[in-house]
Copies of this chain bind each other. A is one copy, B any other.
Amino acid sequence: MSEIITYKEVLNHKGLKNTRHRNSILELLETSTQPLTADQIYLALVNQKISINLSTIYRVLNTLVENGLIIKTNTVSDNKTLFELNSFEHKHHLVCMECKKITMVDECPFEEYEKKLKEKMGYTILGHKLEIYGVCKSCREKENNGKSIV
């Protein structure tokens, strides 16, 4: 836990009960460097000798999304739903097409662009999602040992 505030307090404040499952899921997402699928969470917890049902994971994830503690995303390549802790910071995803790893980037070049869209299209802009696809350093190096396609 990187904050002084514990999940127990956060959950309480939202009127949610402080259960071991909610805590272990939140803790797992906190230590993870990237968004996880429900299934990945399930496997990770089972690995930690925690007995939990997959449907419970889905239910916990959904309540946490509804209460703004975590964020739901989905990938373009495969059709899976990913969950990550809501850091309340504006982040974008850098997705490696080879190893599928996701890296977070926090720089965002958009204020200008959004203003333009607002004027041109008459939209009220609420937010955006940006995913950038590429090949990460280590995958590119692996490939260069063989033939270089990219």
Question: Which residues of A come within 8 Å of B, CB atoms?
Answer: 72-76, 79, 81, 94, 96-97, 103, 105, 107, 109-110, 112-114, 116-117, 121-137, 140, 150
Q: How far in angstroms is the closest Cβ of chain B from A119? A: 12
Count this chain's copies in the assembly: 2
**Structural contact, A125 and B121, CB atoms closer than 8 A:** no
Candidate in A79, A97, A121, A124 with the most chain B CB atoms within 10 angstroms:
A124
Known: A81-B79, A130-B128, A133-B128. A94 touches B107 (CB 8 A): no
**Structural contact, A129 and B76, CB atoms closer than 8 A:** yes
**Structural contact, A127 and B121, CB atoms closer than 8 A:** no
* A79 in complex: contacting residue of B74, B116, B131, B132, CB < 8 Å: B74
